[in-house]
Amino acid sequence: MRLWALIWQSLFSRRLSVVLTLVTLALSVALFLSVTRLQNAARNSFERSIAGVDLIVSARASDLQVLLYSVFRLGDPINNLSWESFEQWSADPRIAWSVPISLGDSHRGFRVMGTTNAYFDHVLYGNNQSLAFASGKGLDDLFDVVLGAGVAQKLGYGLNDRLVVSHGTVSTGNSEHDDLPFRVSGILEPTGTSIDQTLLVSLEAIEAIHLGWQTGRKLASGNADQLRQAELQPTQITAAFVGLNNRLRIFHVQRAVNSYDEEALTAVVPGVAFARLWSIVGVAEQAFRAIAVLIVVLSILAMITMILTTLSERRREMAIYRSLGATPLVIAMMLLSEALVIAFGGCLTGWLFVQATSRIGASMLQERLGLLLPQHWLTWGELWVLLAILASAGAAAIIPAALVYRSTLADGLTVRS
Amino acid sequence: MIEPASAENITTDSLAPSDGGQDGAPGDSSRAPLLELTGLKFSYGAGSAFQLTVDHFAVEAGQTVLLLGESGTGKSTLLNLITGVARQQAGEIKIVGQKMRADKPAQADRLRGQHIGLIYQSLNLLPYTSVKQAVVMALAFSSLRRKRIRGPVDQEVKRLLNLLNLDATALFDRPVVALSAGQQQRVAAARALIGRPELIVADEPTSALDSKNQARFLDLVLGSLDRSSQSLLMVSHDERIAPLFDRVVRIEELTA
């Protein structure tokens, strides 16, 4: 028989409180790991959302607002950008390309965005990857629609399926335009960004939807062929993604756009806006993390409390070990190992729990929030956190170990209990 | 049977003062006493009326010794000194030629773990262990006692249990709390005996047993000793058991 067998026997004899303590610790470890992983995933997926765009130009609004509605399709723009201004700036020699976007409609809860085929060429995501078609191609006809991967999967649409786009962002069902069916011309590869949850149509299509609706009720004239003949030149758009010839001049061009005389415009540098976003979100992130750390600390304290409360009952155990030749130091070490065994078990169980739930939860997160949860086993950062938890459990266990060291010295070999 | 403690004249000079290296070698223990106390002085502190002095006391290898005395005469204190828990003010305690120094607790603990098997009056066992676990527990803290077992440990545990008239096959994995008081004391004896420590120290081991079980327990423990190398030092107030021992020492004579 070895020492670890004695430790195991003793732990097993107190299995109920040991298991409860271990579960407490496991849950707190799981909470900590999940919070960290979700934060990373959120940050990652936000920052992956847009790439290759030097400036976002829109009507006068705050950086963050522009970023949120143009990139994440969150919220609605207050003002639109006039088509004249867009054309004027697109012609500017400093500007290499420009992609207009127009928001404001929805299809069964998913955002519909009007744009041009240039979007697929210029607007990148992640590590400067360009959007790829899983099937089909871009927008040719007025009633063509390109689906994000999430939309196609969630709603079960395939290539050439027909669908109806309703006005506004709320899917009510009864105001849908039965007579303006769109045809799925292409489906994009999944990207893990907001584009997955978006339906892309041409700018003219957005105009066409609105043409029949300008009085707030359905007009009889909404015939598809008539609309194809109609003058559908948009008069205003939501924003424009812009690429520059010389990226070193970003701030120069930004200033020029911001001080444009004809219309009050805002040019946003995505990286700068992201930094501002994180400085705001960062506070909440820190708070979450602090709470998770506190919970881990609490569960370590609970473990020490559990060990401390059993100490007086275990004086006989200690006296017997000592009569068999255990030095007080060995007994203190046994107690320390006990704490480490529980802490290790807690960390392992918590990690396994997170591993299991993230497998299950990943698809739900991607579907509902477009969040790509990283499927890794253990990052170095997480490993350090787990080691830190083990170390603090060990450090905290020095208290009962020291108490036992003293009491076993004083008790000697017999405890009359 | 009763022998006064006057042995100091005979043995003190013949002691080899070497330390260590004589672990369990019977050749050595036949030359020097297994346990030897010289010039021992102990008190609980300056104000305490209680004082214990032992000029000389020795236990030879293979000898069984009964230390007789009423309670309060210092029997337990003497055992605490021998086992290295209490610390004497003067004098020396040697076991297998090595000094037992309570001022160095870790050293004393190790010496006790390797060379002394202890049996108490009661509460010898941890309630959550099985019979087997209770016995092999002694090996967790002593590499020497572990090494002395030739062959499988389980087999040695069974041999000892059978020697002590416990049904090894039936009781091996039973929890100790399911056993009677007499059986529990015999499990404690098996734990003290396993790995053949040179000295078995028993502190009133039968006081919790009825008279029939008392005699039986002593018979079994004495019969289980390896008489070539193991000595027994038992403390009791019961004079009736005196005939069972090689030698009987009254504590009053020892401390006079």
Could you give the C-alpha distances from A94 to A91, A116, A250, A253, A265, in angstroms and in order? 9, 21, 10, 8, 17
A124, A261: one domain: yes
- Looking at the predicted structure, is the pLDDT value of residue A33 above 50? yes
Q: How far is A344 from chain B (nearest CA, A)?
A: 23
- Chain B positions contacting chain A at CB under 8 Å are 80, 83, 85-86, 105-106, 109-110, 112-114, 118, 120, 123-129, 133, 136-142, 153, 191
- What is the model's pLDDT at position A172? 44
- What is the model's pLDDT at position B256? 66
- Specify if A417 maps to a domain: no
| φ/ψ of residue A305, rounded to 5 | -60, -45
- Specify if A275 maps to a domain: no
Q: Which residues on chain A are in Cβ contact (under 8 Å) with B208?
A: none
- What is the model's pLDDT at position A229? 65
Q: How far is B118 from chain A (nearest CA, A)?
A: 7
- What is the model's pLDDT at position A145? 92
Element (H, E) at B131: helix B131-140
Tokens of A348: 């392992």
For residues B116 and B40, give the distance between their C-alpha atoms in angstroms, rounded to a whole number: 20
A94, A241: one domain: yes
Is residue A64 within 8 Å of A277, Cβ to Cβ?
yes
- Looking at the predicted structure, is the pLDDT value of residue A364 above 80? no
A10 contacts B128? CB cut-off 8 A: yes
- What is the model's pLDDT at position B17? 41
Residue among A320, A325, A415 minimizing CB distance to B109: A325
pLDDT in tens, A159-210: 988 887 765 544 444 444 455 578 899 999 988 788 888 999 999 888 877 7
Grade residue A215 by pLDDT with cuts at 50, 70 and 90.
Answer: very low
User: Which among A397, A402, A393 has a CA at the least distance from the CA of A307?
Assistant: A397
- Specify if B243 maps to a domain: yes
pLDDT in tens, B17-40: 444 444 444 444 446 889 999 988
- Looking at the predicted structure, is the pLDDT value of residue B195 above 70? yes
Q: Which residues on chain A are in Cβ contact (under 8 Å) with B84?
A: none
- Specify if B1 maps to a domain: no
Average pLDDT over residues A2-20: 89
- Specify if A35 maps to a domain: yes
Average pLDDT over residues A328-340: 88
Domain limits at B47? Answer: 8-255
pLDDT in tens, A245-297: 998 999 999 999 999 988 999 999 998 998 888 888 888 888 988 998 899 89
Q: Number of folded domains in chain B?
A: 1
- What is the model's pLDDT at position B189? 93
- What is the model's pLDDT at position A252? 92
Average pLDDT over residues A97-119: 89
Give residues with Cβ within 8 angstroms of A152, minimum separation 6.
Answer: A158, A184, A187
Query: A360 in contact with B at a CB cutoff of 8 Å?
Result: no
Is residue B159 within 8 Å of B214, Cβ to Cβ?
no
Could you give the C-alpha distances from B128 to A3, A13, A192, A351, B134, in angstroms and in order? 16, 6, 55, 31, 9
Q: What is the mean pLDDT of chain B?
A: 83
A332, A231: one domain: no
- What is the model's pLDDT at position B132? 93
- Give the whole-number percent of chain A exceeding pLDDT 90: 33
B140 contacts A1? CB cut-off 8 A: yes
Average pLDDT over residues A299-318: 86
Residue scoring higher pLDDT (A237 or A74): A237
Q: Give the end of a domain, one of A268, A294, A317.
A: A268
Q: How far is B107 from chain A (nearest CA, A)?
A: 8
Residue among B80, B114, B140 minimizing CB distance to A3: B140
Q: How far is B82 from chain A (nearest CA, A)?
A: 12
A192, A68: one domain: yes
Domain limits at A363? Answer: 3-46+280-411
pLDDT in tens, A367-411: 666 666 777 788 888 898 899 989 988 888 888 888 887 777 666
- Specify if B3 maps to a domain: no
Q: Number of folded domains in chain A?
A: 2
A196, A305: one domain: no
- Specify if A274 maps to a domain: no
Q: How far is A410 from chain B (nearest CA, A)?
A: 9
Could you give the C-alpha distances from A328 to A4, A213, A322, A338, B123, in angstroms and in order? 16, 86, 7, 15, 20
- Specify if A322 maps to a domain: yes
Residue of B nearest to A8 (CA): B129
Interface of A with B in 301-330 (CB under 8 A): 316-317, 320-330
B126 contacts A327? CB cut-off 8 A: no
Among A138-142, B131-135, B188-192, the range scoring the smallest mean pLDDT is: A138-142
A293, A351: one domain: yes
Q: What is the CATH number of the domain that holds B54?
A: 3.40.50.300
- What is the model's pLDDT at position B121? 83
For residues B91 and B244, give the distance between their C-alpha atoms in angstroms, rounded to a whole number: 31
Residue scoring higher pLDDT (A270 or A107): A270
ipTM of the complex: 0.82
- Specify if A387 maps to a domain: yes
Residue among B112, B128, B139 minimizing CB distance to A9: B128
Residue among B106, B123, B138 minimizing CB distance to A327: B106
A222, A100: one domain: yes
A149, A198: one domain: yes
Average pLDDT over residues B210-231: 87
Query: A130 in contact with B at a CB cutoff of 8 Å?
Result: no
- Looking at the predicted structure, is the pLDDT value of residue A211 above 60? yes
The SS3 of residue A303 is helix
DSSP code for A51: B
- Give the whole-number percent of chain A exceeding pLDDT 70: 87
Q: Which residues on chain A are in Cβ contact (under 8 Å) with B110?
A: 325, 327
- What is the model's pLDDT at position A167? 57
Is residue A49 within 8 Å of A302, Cβ to Cβ?
no
For residues A206 and A215, give the distance between their C-alpha atoms in angstroms, rounded to a whole number: 16
| φ/ψ of residue B65, rounded to 5 | -125, 130
- Looking at the predicted structure, is the pLDDT value of residue A82 above 80? yes
A188, A215: one domain: yes
Q: How far is B255 from chain A (nearest CA, A)?
A: 23
A337, A189: one domain: no
A226, A346: one domain: no
A198, A295: one domain: no
Is residue B82 within 8 Å of B93, Cβ to Cβ?
yes
- Specify if B2 maps to a domain: no
Is residue A183 within 8 Å of A160, Cβ to Cβ?
yes
For residues B213 and B124, give the distance between their C-alpha atoms in angstroms, rounded to a whole number: 17
